């Protein structure tokens, strides 16, 4: 048995050598729920240690970045149909609709829609069509176009052998 005591506020405390660690899937809102549940059950929050993962440090997702990939056009029985959403609860989530083309103009990117779309000069390149792979991009080509120095932010370049050996001494 681990054992427990009751603190001066009446909450149960684990043995001082024991703590519970929760570090996965936590954000500000879930942290509040977790603590309310623990204290509601009569346990002290001093028993807990929380990790500080991405949910607490940087909650980045398609909503916070205002970025999502959606269908904009469908062809049904040979007829082009615009596909879009325009939610009344969040006008910021209105999507582009119809045939789209992307163009670099005046140092920025511009989307042209519907009759203004110019597919012939668009930066959009069909990669798949009707289940067939049309272009097999190499990762080095993709990162080259994006001017990305490393293929992943998690890849740490290897230290030269001499420097690595010096760190061991």
Note the pLDDT tens digit of each residue in 78-102: 999 999 999 899 888 888 999 999 9
- Characterise 66 by phi-psi region: left (phi > 0), alpha (psi -120 to 50), beta (else): left
Instruction: Render pLDDT for 6-41 as a digit per residue (tens, 0 to 9).
Output: 999 999 999 888 888 887 778 778 888 999 999 999
**140-169 mean pLDDT:** 57
Max mean pLDDT among 47-51, 57-61, 164-168 falls in: 47-51
Return d(Cα 122, Cα 100) in angstroms, integer: 9
Token pair 């509040």 is found at 32
Which tokens belong to 140? 């080095």
Contact 118, 101 (CB under 8 A): yes
Residue 111's pLDDT band, with cuts at 50, 70 and 90, is very high
Q: Half-sphere exposure of 123 toward its Cβ, with a 13 Å CA cutoff?
A: 11
Return d(Cα 124, Cα 126) in angstroms, integer: 7
Q: Half-sphere exposure of 75 toward its Cβ, with a 13 Å CA cutoff?
A: 4
Q: Are strands 108-113 and 128-129 parallel, antiparallel or unpaired?
A: unpaired
Q: What is the pLDDT of residue 118?
A: 94
Q: What is the pLDDT of residue 132?
A: 94
Cβ within 8 Å of residue 101, ≥6 positions away: 111, 112, 117, 118, 119, 121, 122, 123, 124
**102-130 mean pLDDT:** 90
């Amino acid at each position: 048995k681990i054992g427990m005591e009751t603190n001066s506020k009446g909450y149960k405390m684990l043995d001082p050598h024991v703590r519970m660690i929760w570090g996965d899937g936590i954000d500000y809102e879930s942290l509040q729920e977790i603590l309310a549940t623990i204290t509601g059950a009569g346990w002290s929050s001093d028993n807990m240690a929380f990790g500080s993962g991405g949910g607490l440090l940087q909650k980045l997702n398609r909503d916070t970045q205002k970025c999502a990939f959606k269908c904009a056009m469908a062809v049904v029985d040979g007829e082009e149909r615009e596909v879009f959403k325009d939610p009344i609860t969040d006008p910021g989530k209105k999507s582009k609709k119809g045939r789209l083309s992307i163009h670099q103009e005046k140092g920025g990117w511009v989307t042209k829609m519907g009759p203004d779309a110019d597919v012939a000069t668009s930066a959009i390149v069909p990669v798949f069509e009707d289940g067939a792979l049309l272009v097999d991009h190499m990762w080095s080509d993709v990162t080259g176009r994006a001017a990305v120095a490393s293929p992943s932010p998690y890849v740490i370049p290897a230290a030269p052998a001499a420097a690595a050996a010096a760190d061991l001494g």
